[in-house]
Amino acid sequence: MDYDLDLLESFENINELVDMDQDYNEENGVRFNQIEWEEPTQEDNRQMEETRNTIRNQLPS
């Protein structure tokens, strides 16, 4: 029973955060559907690959 209550509280917290985020965006004139996605450039891809390889090289094999 306690687990169910904890789970419900976590959902309430998530919903509260979503509501706060929506309020913030509306107050600042930003709507989700107004955000445009930009395709990554070749330079973006190169930097991501370089970062990935750097991290990969630091991990033990």
Taking Cα atoms as reference points, which of 55, 51, 32, 29 lies closest to residue 40? 51
Overall domain count for the chain: 1
Rounded to an integer, the average pLDDT of 53-60 is: 88
| pLDDT greater at residue 17 or residue 40 | 40
- pLDDT tens per residue across span 23-42: 666 666 666 555 677 888 99
Residues 41, 48 contacting (CB under 8 angstroms): no
pLDDT at 24: 67
Taking Cα atoms as reference points, which of 40, 44, 41, 48 lies closest to residue 56? 48
pLDDT at 51: 94
Which residues are CB-contacts of 31 (< 8 A; sequence separation ≥ 6)?
25
- pLDDT tens per residue across span 40-49: 899 999 999 9
Measured CA to CA, the distance from residue 49 to residue 47 in angstroms comes to: 5
Which residues span the domain enclosing 7?
Answer: 2-58
